[in-house]
Structure 1
Amino acid sequence: MYELIPVADGPQYDEEAEQRFVEDWPEFIFHDVEVKKYRDRRLEYFPEWEFYLVSSDHRLIAGCWGVPIAWDGTVEDLPGGFTDTLARSVTSYEEGVVPNTWVLMAAAVRSDEQGQGHSSRVITAVRDRAVESGLPQVIAPVRPTLKSRYPLTPIETFMTWSRPDGLPLDPWLRTHVRLGAQILAPATASQTMTGTVAEWEKWTDMQFPSSGTYTIPAGLTTLSIDRSADHGIYVEPNVWMRHA
């Protein structure tokens, strides 16, 4: 048996979570400057929307978090992606806008528990929690894990690729579809990470001897380096999905 608990109710898991749930993420993903602008307010406004999934023997299995927003249900009104969703949730809260949608922003399963269906468990549990809390629409800007093997392929093309059984080629998109989700639209600029050349060399464990476009480990698209400006920029695409 497994239980979804608010992070605030499980401080004994915090230290382990900080270690376990960053293992599979590339370092550069944590350097979106715009995200940092809203992080503290998100934690203050929506503490009830950050969760741990724990087993009956009190083992930390997974973690996830999301935010409530107002969305009219159309593709045109979707946020630009991960960062824009965070900004909309915070500013809408401050303006007194009533939300009707819950956005699953991130979910992670500890590396030694992967491949056992836990990602489906945590998504299902948090989706049901949102609906029970009066947020009937559940969407997610999904980071397709297989996309890093095809960094030169546009996200609009990649998200249409499927297996012979009709399910998405990408395993993370496939997990959502199996839970009843539909692909809505590409989020071509879901997050933007910037840094100096030295920072990008540290984050990627690569050298960038000249200005140009580079493929990077775990990058869903390419990194643009400008040595004369001592600047690198990476704009990450995601895929918007809607859960039934």
Structure 2
Amino acid sequence: MKNKYKVVTLKERLDLKDEFSRLHSIGWVKFMREDPIGVKNWGKLLTYFPEFQFLLLNDDLEPVACGNSIPFKWDGNENSLPSGWDGVLEKGVLDFENNVSSNSVSALAIVIHPDYRGQGLSDIMVREMKGLVAKSRLDKMVAPVRPSLKSKYPLIPMEEYITWKREDGTPFDPWIRTHCRTGASIIKVAAESMVIPASVETWEDWIGMELPSSGAYIIKEGLVPLQVDRETDEGTYIEPNVWLEHHLT
């Protein structure tokens, strides 16, 4: 690889705290940054767990990617996993505030600046995140993964989508494939991983399209359709993700 990259945690470089929000604002569509659980707990994530948030710096020491994860307590039973992204973020924060000892870590996000995508940084970021978990001496690592091509197939159930394979037998989805290549296996679908409710007008602003009547709407970057109810003036996006477990040894 031509470029040399340096990894720093937020604990090591508190002066780079704002870079996480900057990268997320570039890497995600508007509605994905409006998840109420995420909005409520984002500041706490960075404050409580700086050693689990990291940045990838380029040759000029500019942040080009970031990784976010959170420790939490989990007994290893798939049935006791949180609901998904919202659930594990909330649980990790509550565990910390209630002095509950963590034994696991969940990945929350890996964001790569658009200018640096397609250069193999996905593998680097996943491996670096696993390295941080290994250093923390926690037992398990999981991730509520957002499949990168699922938005092209919003009407296909996630349960079916994750069974799709390429000719070589590897997962069809590139992001799931990256995780599996770096030592992960699928646990199950997180059917209600992230729930984003808002007024119809707010949704129209977020997605840049009109929503004239009640019904299901396919939206840009949505993994599933947006459900709109004009009578109650509410649009609700319920995103499914995929729980994966990374094997640390």
The alignment's TM-score, normalised by the length of structure 2, stands at: 0.92
Give the one of 161, 165, 176 matched to 2:164. 161
Q: Pairwise mapping of residues 4-83 of structure 1 onto structure 2 (< 5 A)?
A: 4-10=7-13, 13=16, 17-83=20-86
CA contact (8 A) 2:5 2:59 kept: yes
Q: Secondary structure at the match of 2:25?
A: coil
| Separation of aligned partners in 1, 2:217 and 2:64 | 35
Task: Check if 1:232 corresponds to 2:235.
Answer: yes
For residue 57 of structure 1, report the CA deviation from its aligned partner. 3.5
Task: Check if 1:87 corresponds to 2:87.
Answer: no
> Amino acid of the residue matched to residue 6 of structure 1?
T
> Amino acid of the residue matched to residue 130 of structure 2?
R
Deviations 1:134-184 (A, max 9, x none): 113111110001110111111111111111111111111111111111011
The equivalent of 2:115 in structure 1 is 112
CA contact (8 A) 1:82 1:141 kept: yes
CA contact (8 A) 1:20 1:111 kept: no
The equivalent of 1:199 in structure 2 is 202
For residue 55 of structure 1, report the CA deviation from its aligned partner. 2.9
The equivalent of 1:183 in structure 2 is 186
Q: Secondary structure at the match of 2:228?
A: strand
Deviating runs (4+, > 2 A) in structure 1? 7-24, 34-44
Task: Check if 1:212 corresponds to 2:219.
Answer: no
| Aligned CA distance change for structure 1 residues 206 and 143 (closer, same or farther; 3 Å) | same
> Amino acid of the residue matched to residue 101 of structure 1?
S
| Separation of aligned partners in 2, 1:53 and 1:232 | 36
Identity %: 37
| Aligned CA distance change for structure 1 residues 176 and 219 (closer, same or farther; 3 Å) | same
CA contact (8 A) 1:31 1:194 kept: no
| Separation of aligned partners in 1, 2:188 and 2:210 | 34
For residue 13 of structure 1, report the CA deviation from its aligned partner. 4.6
- 5+ residue gaps, structure 1: none
Give the one of 141, 144, 154 matched to 2:144. 141
Deviations 1:73-102 (A, max 9, x none): 121111110000011111111222211111
Q: Secondary structure at the match of 1:138?
A: strand
The alignment's TM-score, normalised by the length of structure 1, stands at: 0.94
RMSD across aligned positions (CA): 1.6
> Amino acid of the residue matched to residue 222 of structure 2?
G
